């Protein structure tokens, strides 16, 4: 079988950041899939499942309600390897264009208090798997160490 594009990225050199994973044409429109990489693969511990699940709930809710970007958000969800998330958006976009949006998103998570949206047995298939304190900690780490000081190395896959 042909190797899919995300398995051709050198994960040994991949840094934390925002990357274009792929661009697809759907109904005459470009859909950009972003790799929101919160952990360096195979070099630091993966995200804890409860924290990642909470980040998913908070980021998806924030993005789908964003006053400017909501209509372009298709999907936000965790990577199976637990090192980040995928964000699918309508439009032919680049990481630098959504960097301010990701800064807003992760700042929202850092400051979030209260009930996690969708974290009830009626709304979620595993509603007890939540960890808001750890989600806030991981979001702050990513925001301050990567998003607030991103360079080209955090916005372009390694060659």
Q: Is residue 130 part of a domain?
A: yes
Q: So what's the pLDDT on residue 151? A: 97
Domain membership flag for residue 157: no
Q: Evaluate whether residue 158 is within a structural domain.
A: no
pLDDT band of 73, cuts 50, 70, 90 = very high
- Report residue 150's pLDDT band, with 50, 70 and 90 as the boundaries: very high
Q: What is the mean pLDDT of residues 63-75?
A: 98
Question: Domain with 83 in it: what CATH number?
Answer: 3.30.1360.80
How many domains, the chain?
1
Other CB atoms closer than 10 Å to residue 120's CB: what's the count? 10
Given this model, what pLDDT does residue 61 score?
A: 98
Mean pLDDT of 69-96: 98
Can you give the residue range of the structural domain that contains 128?
5-152
Eight-state DSSP code of residue 126: T
- Angle between helices 49-64 and 132-145 in degrees, nearest 10: 70
Q: Is residue 71 part of a domain?
A: yes
Would you say 16 and 142 are in contact if contact means Cβ atoms under 8 Å apart? yes
Does a structural domain hold residue 100?
yes
The Cα 142–Cα 17 span in angstroms is 8
- Which H or E run contains 16? none
- Encode pLDDT of 1-49 as tens digits: 988 777 888 899 999 999 999 999 999 999 999 999 999 999 999 999 9
Convert 44-98 into a string of H (helix), E (strand) and C (coil): CCCCCHHHHHHHHHHHHHHHHCCCCCHHHEEEEEECCCCCEEEEEEECCCCHHHH
Q: 3-class SS at 6?
A: helix
- Indicate whether this model's pTM tops 0.85: yes
User: Is pLDDT at 81 greater than 80 in this prediction?
Assistant: yes
**Shortest CA distance to 93 belongs to which of 147, 37, 153, 36?**
36
Among 61-65, 120-124, 155-159, the range scoring the smallest mean pLDDT is: 155-159
Average pLDDT score over the chain: 96
Predicted pLDDT of residue 3: 82
| 159 inside domain | no
List, as own/partner pairs, every contact residues 112-118 make where C-beta atoms lie below 8 angstroms and the sequence separation is at least 24, other chains included. Answer: 112/58, 112/136, 116/54, 116/57, 116/58, 117/57, 117/58, 117/61, 118/57, 118/61
In a domain? residue 48? yes
Please state, for a pLDDT cut of 90, what percent of the chain lies above it. Answer: 94
- Does 31 reside within a domain? yes
Provide mean pLDDT across the span 153-159: 93
């Amino acid at each position: 079988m042909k190797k899919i594009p995300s398995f051709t990225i050198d994960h040994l050199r991949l840094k934390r950041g925002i990357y274009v994973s792929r661009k697809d044409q759907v109904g005459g429109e470009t859909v950009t899939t972003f790799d929101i990489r919160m952990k360096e693969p195979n070099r630091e511990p993966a995200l804890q499942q409860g924290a990642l699940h909470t980040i998913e709930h908070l980021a998806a809710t924030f993005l789908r309600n964003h006053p400017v970007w909501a209509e372009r958000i298709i999907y936000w969800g965790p990577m199976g390897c637990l090192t980040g998330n995928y964000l699918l958006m309508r439009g032919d976009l680049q990481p630098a264009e959504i960097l301010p949006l990701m800064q807003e998103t992760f700042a929202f998570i850092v400051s979030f208090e209260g009930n996690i949206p969708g974290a009830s047995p009626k709304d979620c298939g595993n509603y007890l798997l939540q960890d808001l304190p750890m989600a806030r900690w991981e979001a702050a780490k990513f925001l301050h160490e990567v998003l607030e000081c991103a360079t080209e190395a955090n916005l372009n896959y390694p060659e």
